[in-house]
Amino acid sequence: MIIDGQPATHVIWCDTKAGIAVVADQPIKSTDGETVDFHPVWGEIKVIPIEQASSPGEPA
């Protein structure tokens, strides 16, 4: 997944039309001991299937 041209990891949910994603905090933590803490991110969101994603060092 790409948000504003930058790769994003630990994405829980996203809406490409609305331009919002919910991303787990890094490093992963839990303030209540049960659920992972997360935050919303807004921007241009593009989801790329893993088969089409290039590895680091490979040309896109």
Instruction: Confirm whether 40 is domain-assigned.
Output: yes
- Domains identified in the chain, total number: 1
Instruction: Confirm whether 58 is domain-assigned.
Output: no
Instruction: Confirm whether 54 is domain-assigned.
Output: no
6-25 as b/e, with b when 16 or more CB fall inside 10 Å? eebeebeebeeeeeebebbe
Instruction: Confirm whether 56 is domain-assigned.
Output: no
Encode pLDDT of 41-54 as tens digits: 999 999 988 777 66
This prediction's pTM: 0.71
Cα separation, 25 vs 28, in Å, equals: 5
Encode pLDDT of 3-54 as tens digits: 999 998 899 999 999 999 999 998 989 999 999 999 999 999 999 887 776 6
Instruction: Confirm whether 15 is domain-assigned.
Output: yes
Cβ-Cβ contacts under 8 Å for 26 (sequence gap 6 or more): 9, 10
Instruction: Confirm whether 52 is domain-assigned.
Output: no
Instruction: Confirm whether 23 is domain-assigned.
Output: yes
Residue range of the domain that includes 34: 2-46
